[in-house]
Amino acid sequence: MTDRVVLAYSGGLDTSVGIGWIAEETGVEVVAVAVDVGQGGEDLEEIRKRALACGAVEAVVADARDEYAEQYCLPALQANALYMDRYPLVSALSRPLIVKHLVEAAKYHGASTVAHGCTGKGNDQVRFEVGIGALAPDLKVIAPVRDFAWTREKAIAWAEDRHLPIDVTKKSPYSIDQNVWGRAVETGFLEDIWNGPIEDVYAYTADPAQPRAADEVIITFEKGVPVAIDGRPVSVLQAVEELNRRAGAQGVGRLDMVEDRLVGIKSREVYEAPGAIALITAHQELENVTVERDLARFKRTVEQRWSELVYDGLWFSPLKDALDAFVAKTQEHVSGEVRMTLHGGRAVPTGRRSAASLYDFNLATYDEGDAFDQSLAKGFVQLWGLPSKIAARREQQLRSAGQ
């Protein structure tokens, strides 16, 4: 039986050329695998046909939108995952899902090797290869763009020589990756970090500076899962899609940042993630109401580490699995509703309610009905500050002795 290579296929120039190039250079058959994670744009059936026209012996298109939302975006939401406190892991979240489908396809089609179109400068090469190694250690990996210095000019020449059915004349000034959780834009004039992004960069969000009426939304959660919007039941995917539309129309979720890549360089990235930012904002607010103080404080440390692990391609690591269990435990009482105003590029919580709330009006109020015994506070303050007071007294004594 002829050996096979499973290729992570996007339908673009590099992976389309990669089908024929891998077959010619290695003598193996290529199976193209495209995964729908809500990236929109081109019809995936057309992408499947293009893969076959470019020489793939088989082309697989997996509709993984619900799987992505429920098994990847939802854990990120519950972890309030923001790399460097800002980036909601738009690209990083989709890679382990794609890896899972690649490994499954390799097993099904009897392939010994998996191929991807990543460069040597980015994070995705790590996410793909470390993930593949975790799920199927025996699989080999090849990366033509990285390992064989496959430039765009070489790819265009290859495509033209073989009359491949792809457009090699148009070239976006940007490198774009998108899915239902958000959209990432880099390269082109954005590589000069003094240049501000222009409106042409954006597709998921409207200009937040343009005047428009505000949009009020109520999001209902059950144990950390968004289950309704304005009282209408929704799936996780539907929640993200609706808030992409509504928060995006208000310019919510635009990010312009210089981030620390895993490979050691800094990279300027422009993101737009309206649904992700709106949901994380609402989820954080409900946690403020329902999660006990010390648990919430420790969870913030876990959230940062969780985000770093996913960004660094360690979705399938033992530490990530252990942190998942912790995050799941914290969601037991995160049920209730959050009302937000979407306007001017911001998602602002204006109301929150929960049957599991830890907020006690009678303890919090300064008005009639105050149940807080303020006479207990004096002794508490004295005991709480006693270690600092003792240490300060010691420092005074040592300074006096040294004079």
**Comparing 54 with 139, which gets the higher pLDDT?**
139
Active site residue 230: no
Pairwise CA distance, residues 112 & 123, whole Å: 24
pLDDT level of residue 170 (50, 70, 90 thresholds)? low
- Which residue out of 36, 66, 146, 175 is catalytically annotated? 175
**324-376 pLDDT, tens digit each:** 999 999 999 999 999 999 999 999 999 999 999 999 888 777 877 778 888 88
Mean pLDDT of the chain: 92
Percentage of the chain with pLDDT > 70? 98
- Which residue out of 4, 50, 65, 95 is catalytically annotated? 95
Per-residue pLDDT averaged across 2-13, rounded? 88
| Tokens read off for 160 | 């033209």
Per-residue pLDDT averaged across 253-278, rounded? 96
**Binding residue per annotation — 14?**
yes
**19-34 pLDDT, tens digit each:** 888 888 888 999 999 9
Tell me the C-alpha to C-alpha distance, in Å, between residue 341 and each of 19, 49, 77, 213, 344. Answer: 48, 44, 19, 10, 10
In this predicted structure, the answer to whether residue 206 has a pLDDT above a threshold of 80 is yes
Per-residue pLDDT averaged across 380-385, rounded? 93
pLDDT of residue 121: 84
- Which residue out of 4, 14, 50, 94 is catalytically annotated? 14
Active site residue 14: yes
pLDDT of residue 77: 98
In this predicted structure, the answer to whether residue 155 has a pLDDT above a threshold of 90 is no
**Binding residue per annotation — 13?**
yes
Pairwise CA distance, residues 364 & 359, whole Å: 8
pLDDT of residue 44: 82
> Which range scores top for mean pLDDT: 138-147, 293-302, 373-382?
293-302
| Tokens read off for 168 | 């090699």
Torsion 67-52-140-119 (CA) sign:
negative
**Binding residue per annotation — 16?**
yes
pLDDT of residue 171: 61
pLDDT level of residue 315 (50, 70, 90 thresholds)? very high
In eight-state DSSP terms, residue 87 is B
Per-residue pLDDT averaged across 226-234, rounded? 98
252: CB partners within 8 A, 6+ apart: 205, 208, 274, 277, 278, 342, 345, 346, 347
**Binding residue per annotation — 281?**
no
> Which range scores top for mean pLDDT: 157-171, 186-200, 234-248?
234-248
Q: Domains in the chain and their CATH numbers?
A: 4-171 (3.40.50.620), 176-291+333-353 (3.90.1260.10)
Active site residue 207: no
Per-residue pLDDT averaged across 68-75, rounded? 98
**Binding residue per annotation — 12?**
yes
- Which residue out of 4, 94, 124, 268 is catalytically annotated? 124
290: CB partners within 8 A, 6+ apart: 333, 334, 335, 336, 354, 356, 357, 358
Active site residue 63: no
Tell me the C-alpha to C-alpha distance, in Å, between residue 36 and each of 6, 47, 180, 242, 303. Answer: 16, 11, 10, 18, 27
**Binding residue per annotation — 330?**
no
The least confident of 5-19, 200-214, 361-375 is 361-375
